[in-house]
Amino acid sequence: MSNSFADDFSLDFPRALGPVCGKALFRRQCEDFEVDEILGFELSGEGEHLYLQICKVNENTRWVAHLLADHFGVDGSAVGYAGLKDRRAVTTQWFSVHIPKGQEPPVLPDMPGCQILSVTRHSRKLRPGAHGANRFVIRLGEVSGSRDGIEARLSTIAAGGVPNYFGEQRFGIGAGNLREVAAILARPSPRFRGKRGGLYLSAARSWLFNQVLAAHLKEGAWPDIVSANGASDGPLWGRGRNPAQPSLAAFEAEVLQPWQAWCHALEHSGLKQERRSLVLVPDAFSWRWQNADLVLSFSLPPGAFATAVLREVAVLIVPEPMV
């Protein structure tokens, strides 16, 4: 990889539906961004894993997991959760804590910014990606642009979806995670160590997927170009043979040629080749106006980003600072 790439991590990926319809204030307050995790399976009420459904405001998932481990006196690995939820939001999600049979849990913790909504038990730890979906209610403030145009765009999204890009959160502030990847790979003996190294590898993998998806969009009109290229999914790079059809695999290899050092690092990290859908169609999509604000409601599968939907509608302006 040329060193020039290290300074060029633009996250302004091609949009599918043409220019945005206007501008909107995004996350003026935590209550403007609500996420409700839907497990998608029944909890048995029995077993060695204590399950807690927690609503948190302006707190991140890992911090809550740390507090739970500390409170129950267990190792961090004994605490499970299905996914990392946004901090600057009101989010409801499940956590599991391994507490062996016969051992009574102490009094439930009192955690600032958090409310325990439900407690039960189950036989298995909650693993990443194990939930069924995430339900979003998002308020965009002081929306500019034609309402007719915005509603037409929303109808188009509801019918045909949007590019399933990984969101900017995956890449860190100012694409900092990607810059760290580039810096590590520039060393004589690059190593990705610990949780931080795993975070960087995840960002690298997501970046390569977005590069392939962006290349499809540059080839022609959405969404026809996806099927025309024989593609329904794109690569989550890792070790093993690319399972795509030969013509599609050749297309992806050409796109990723400048990023061979990144591909090599992922192949030697223990990650295996996987695929991710190129198209994201929000489920149960609805919207309503409240004066100049637009309130959107929809569900997305695990690993999908709400900002992938929003970026096709408006330029999002985040007021600073937000407490």
Instruction: Report the alpha-carbon distance of residue 96 to residue 81 in Å, rounded.
Output: 6
Q: Catalytic annotation on 293?
A: no
Count Cβ atoms within 10 A of the Cβ of residue 158 and give its class: 0-12 exposed, 13-18 middle, 19 or more buried: middle
DSSP tag of 102: T
Q: What are phi and psi of 247, to 5 degrees?
A: -65, -40
Q: Which of 11, 36, 304, 21 has its CA nearest to residue 161?
A: 304
Distance of CA 2 to the CA centre of its chain: 28
**Phi, psi at 190, each rounded to 5°:** -65, 135
In the three-class reduction of DSSP (H, G, I as helix; E, B as strand; rest coil), residue 272 is classed as strand
Could you give the CA distance from residue 159 to residue 138 in angstroms, rounded to a whole number?
19
Of these residues, 86, 110, 148, 283, which one is catalytic? 86
Report the chain's terminal Cα–Cα distance, integer Å. Answer: 40
Helix axes 194-219, 260-267, angle to 10 degrees: 130
Residues serving a catalytic function are 86
